[in-house]
Structure 1
Amino acid sequence: MRVSRSLTIKQMAMVSAVTMLFVFIFCVILLFHSVQQNRYNTASQLESIARSVRGPLSAAILKGDIPQAETILQGIQPAGIVSRADVVLPNQFQALRMSFIPERPVPMMIMRLFELPVQISLPVYSLERPANPQPLAYLVLQADSYRMHKFVMSWISTLVTTYLLLTLMLTVALTWCINRLIVHPLRRIARELNDLSPQDQVGHQLPLPRLHHDDEIGMLVRSYNINQQRLLRQHDELNSHATRFPVSELPNKAFLMAMLEQAVERQQTTALMVVACETLQDTAGVLKESQREMLLLTLVEKIKSVLAPRMSLTQVSGYDFVILAHGVKEPWHAITLGQQVLTVINERLPIQGIQLRPSASIGIAMYYGDLTAEQLYRRAFSAAFSARRKGKNQIQFFEPEQMEKAQQRLTQESDILTALDNNHFAIWLQPQMSLLTGRVESAEALLRVQQPDGSWELPDGLIDDIESCGLMVTVGHWVLEESCRLLSAWQERGIALPLSVNLSALQLMHPTMVSEVLELINRYRIKPDTLILEITESRRIDDPNEAVAILKPLRNAGIRIALDDFGMGYAGLRQLQHMKTLPVDVLKIDKTFVDGLPEDSSLVQAIIQMARSLNLTIIAEGIETDTQRDWLAEAGVEIGQGFLFARAVPSDQFEQRYLTDARHHEKA
């Protein structure tokens, strides 16, 4: 391989030119700054010398004693910095001149460029100065310009040396970095392609250079590899025979290993899933080549349909596919994805008059930062072989304990969905009472689950389990719809009691949340202002600005917004700057703060004061004693909720206890 001119020489010339320009500008700025600082120091010294002789000089001038004045000026000479001293009368008449250092020539360009010579003028007054003194004369001191000239030349010689050294060092350093990052990888690629023998050119794959997985060089290598795969496919078609393996346009093993190396380098938690399709292998020599080709392409499209955008599908052999599932961090996520893949593969498939029901075995290996790319690849295939030995359409993890954890989580998910379908979930209501009148002002809908003994309660950790199983949006929508159905029934009877429903952060950030809530309002024909959505603040919302953008359309539709668990999450006391922008109507003081009343009341007082300044309705949660209720009422809190008033009860008991007189709750 020959080149007429090395890329290294070209880039070094360009780097040198740019470096010389910027270092030159830097040195010029530094030179002028240093000279200006020296001018200032020289002027300060001249002024100090002038002030030291101004007193005796003014006495000599007042007496008209010229010899005495000359003697005083001659005493300046030992300072060594002053080249000339003049005494000038107010009418610009030069009364006295003393020269200390012979004038030596200084280039005119230096004089003009750096504004030489440096001189100062100091007024000389009478010793007995009247109210508005007039100077007797002016003492003018001039610095030695040649001394400044030597300083400038010294600095210029130093900066020239520094300039050349910096230019050389930066040129070499930048050129070395560019060589390592760009020139060397390109040179290796060029040499490898140049050394290829003709028989190896078709289907040749370039290894992805280290540190270039996600830049333009990596894109170049991947594009080359994909084009080579297409060429290989065309070559195989020209030399096809009945038993050849079908090849898709998917990336091959070289691409997969490069992606695995990148994941390992970034220590990125992921799952590697091998899909071994027995049907492709069993039909070799049975189906026509066109039929097998159609089978392969159909299976590829089906598998792609269940993959997320961040996931990659590759084909490493005629029968085996590998899914690199970025974003899958838990075994149960991986097994859920595997079940989706098996579901679409097992669908009945007509192929040119033949009905097939494809089958596959799936092996999964999880990566948590403790394996090499090759080890992860081998583990996934080992798991696939284990799944194949158990029969068709099986899923197997390389590590049995991960399989057990995934199955437990899937069982948990199934139990939650079964309970939801069998009406084992219900909403109970807890009243929210006026602290002044004792009247029910609103209610809060709370989730309850029927237990094996027939009782209803909310088990500890159930909300976390629902969230971790990815069912928070599903369960939350059910609670919201049940609450709207209940409000609709009340309002048909003329009851306009507001109902609060908790909305988790996951629900709030769901892309269809706003449209679903508005659809429920219209479907059940309820008054929007009777529905209060409580944003559960203790579950952190990462972007308050995004939350504001979501809540505004709901509030504009008439729905009221409450901030629950105030002080415990994103809009708490640490981030009060967001409060003014939040479209909130109600603020609920968390039980944690109420428990400390009345002894520890500082935080509650601050919350109440802030809510008043924002014109928000205040609800205090977790009131359990009369002392707490009395303190909150006296502090101006309008509504309270807690065991002191009532516990949550089923909706029918709530209606019998509080809504017997429907007209009492009608809005004016």
Structure 2
Amino acid sequence: MLVRSYNRNQQSLVRQHDELSIQSTRFPVSELPNKAFLLAMLEQTVARPQSAALIVVACETLQDAAGVLKESQREMLLLTLVEKLRAAIPPQMVLAQVSGYDFAILADGLAEPWQAVTLSKQVLTIINERLPLHGLQLRPYASVGIAMFHAGLSAEQFYRRAVSAAVTARRKGKNQIEFFDPEQMEKAQRRLMEEHDIMTALDNQQFAIWLQPQVACASGEICGAEVLLRQRQADGSWSLPPSLIERIESCGLIIPVGYWVMEEACRQLAAWQSQGIMLPLSVNVSLLQLLEHDRGEEMLKLIARYRIAPGTLILEVTESCRMDDPQDVMARLRPLREAGVQIALDDFGMGYAGLHQLQQMKALPVDILKIDKVFIDMLPEDVSMVPAMIQLARGLSLRIVAEGVENDAQRRWLQAAGVEVLQGHLFGCALPQEAFSARYLSPVREDENL
């Protein structure tokens, strides 16, 4: 009996200890991590050199309800809002309750202000949904403050910045979002506007593909073309705005835009091939496209749908994209190669090509090496770089395309060096699809093509 009584007492003490531990780290009712727990997690965040955002959501509706709703109704409102917040954020993020009316979201790994704004807008959207509560129709609202972590901040400073931003947001009215640093808000708004503009251009057919001819160095005859992206401008002209591609990539829209470009290229190839024209088209792809889940399979489906003849579609993979996992890249490229797609390494020499990268290239299923215009511009006066690239390509049994050929002296030097294909203004600028076909392909017959 004494032993059982002792055991019961011990179990009771353990339960009391656990309850006290929970009370010290969890907020009542919601059982979310409280401010003390959040600050402990922030200590871990600031101790590691990583990006993070802290988002404080001040829910004024909970505060307004304090003097109006019964306690059971307030608890139901709180729990409902907690579930909404949980649904609005990724599972790896931490949701805490730091006061009776305020929540905090710790987003480790969130590096860009626009990402924090996008998440905050999602939070506000789900909070603002009409909420029936015991016969009442509520439309909750909140204010959001954001602080981005910077090296040198303490956990307390990081937290106070987010709270300060939330106070500023509340002063400006309902459902406002503010950064501790106003410049970050401007940066995020510019980034989100860029994303909106790019998606609008894609939806409203303000993008087009133009084609630049590639010629056989030995004969001067057209032997292919590169697909280049153009955007309609306000005056009706078409051009490639400065850093458009970089903005598309930074906005995370390279996947949808890249897919659209690929389909347009396949559509053009199919139209030509229905007329017996077998001219190859080269399309730039980012490693981000290749490594994205199922994107390679989607490319294969496009090739099958448009019945693209083997050898007529060339994917130009930009060498400046780092190949951290060449085995993975190889696995993504191999099915495309087996389907008759040729692989070109684009902008060679402009990125990460050290000895290690060159060693990896030997294992990659690459057919063509494109020498960037930067190096062609050196010719024929400076021949310190291009001969080494040509020798490398020969050693790897790759065909060579020289980009940016603009004068006859460059053409003669490249021809003497044995470069197979040339591209540049010397042979023609990029043209709209119909104009390209009219200029270069009207007299072409099937037996004259590659």
TM-score by length of 2: 0.88
Q: Is the 8 A contact 2:25 2:34 kept in 1?
A: no
Distance 1:607 1:301, change over 3 A: same
In 2, Cα distance between equivalents of 1:396 and 1:641? 49
The residue that corresponds to 2:3 in the other structure is none
Give 3-state SS (helix, strand or coil) of 2:406's partner: coil
Matched, 1:253 2:69: no
**Cα distance in 1 for residues equivalent to 2:37 and 2:335:** 46
What do residues 196-231 of structure 1 show as CA deviations (whole Å, max 9, x unaligned)? x99x957534xxxxxxxxxxxxxxxxxxx48974xx
Question: Where does structure 1 lack aligned partners over 5 or more consecutive residues?
Answer: 1-193, 206-224, 234-246
Q: Given the alignment of the two structures, is residue 570 of structure 1 paired with residue 386 of structure 2, yes or no?
A: no
SS at match of 2:147: strand
* Pick aligned residue for 2:94 from 312, 318, 340: 312
SS at match of 1:436: coil
Query: In the TM superposition, what is the alpha-carbon distance from 1:611 to its structure 2 partner?
Result: 2.3
Cα offset, 1:456, TM superposition:
1.8
Q: State, as a whole percentage, how many aligned pairs show the same letter.
A: 63
Residues 149-188 of structure 1: pairs in structure 2 closer than 5 A: none
Counterpart amino acid of residue 204 in structure 1: L
| Matched residue SS, 1:204 | helix
Between the aligned partners of 1:332 and 1:389, the Cα distance in structure 2 is 22
What is the letter of the counterpart of residue 591 of structure 1? Answer: K
Q: Answer whether contact 1:567 1:573 (CA < 8 A) is retained.
A: no
Aligned partners of 2:229 and 2:304: how far apart in 1?
24
**Cα deviation digits, residues 38-95 of structure 1 (max 9, x gap):** xxxxxxxxxxxxxxxxxxxxxxxxxxxxxxxxxxxxxxxxxxxxxxxxxxxxxxxxxx
- Is structure 2 residue 432 aligned with structure 1 residue 432? no
Q: For 1:378-419, what per-residue CA distance to the aligned partner results, in whole angstroms no more than 9, with x for missing partners?
A: 221222122222222111112222222222222222222222
Contact 1:497 1:665 in 2 (8 A): no
1:167 is matched with none
Is residue 440 of structure 2 the alignment partner of residue 624 of structure 1? no
Corresponding residue for residue 198 of structure 2:
416
Equivalence for 1:378: 160
Matched, 1:549 2:331: yes
Within-5 A mapping of 1:53-202: none
Distance 1:353 1:498 in 2: 67
Distance change >3 Å, CA 425–CA 350, structure 1 → 2:
same
* Structure 2: distance between partners of 1:557 and 1:528: 7
Residues 572/459 of structure 1: CA separation in 2 closer, same or farther (3 Å cut) = farther
Q: Provide the residue aligned with 2:293 in structure 1.
A: 511
Q: Which has the higher helix share?
A: 1
Partner of 1:644: 426
Instruction: State yes or no: 1:600 paired with 2:382.
Output: yes
Q: Distance in 1 between matches of 2:100 and 2:94?
A: 18
- Asked if 2 retains the 8 angstrom alpha-carbon contact of 1:548 and 1:582, the reply is yes
Which of 63, 74, 80 aligns to 1:281? It is 63
Q: Which has the larger radius of gyration?
A: 1
Q: What is the total number of aligned residue pairs between the two structures?
A: 439
Q: Determine the structure 1 residue equivalent to 2:254.
A: 472
Query: What is the SS of the residue equivalent to 1:535?
Result: strand
Work out the CA distance in 2 between the residues paired with 1:227 and 1:375.
22
Instruction: Judge conservation of contact 2:25–2:33 (CA < 8 Å) in 1.
Output: no
Partner-residue secondary structure (3-state), 1:529: coil
User: How far is 1:375 from its partner?
Assistant: 2.1
TM-score normalised to the size of structure 1?
0.61
- Counterpart in the other structure of 1:441: 223
- The 1:435/1:228 distance shift into structure 2, 3 A limit, reads closer
Instruction: Tell me, in whole angstroms, the C-alpha distance in 2 between the residues paired with 1:228 and 1:410.
Output: 37
Unaligned runs of 5+ residues in structure 2 are 1-9
Distance 1:301 1:398 in 2: 27
Tell me how far 1:287 sits from its aligned partner.
Answer: 5.2
Give the counterpart of 1:323 among 71, 83, 105.
105
- 2:436 aligns with one of 647, 650, 654: 654
User: How far did residue 267 of structure 1 move?
Assistant: 4.2
Q: Which has the higher contact order (CA 8 A, sep 6+)?
A: 2
1:263 is aligned to 45
| Among candidates 83, 88, 92, match of residue 301 of structure 1 | 83
Deviation of 1:503 (Å): 0.9
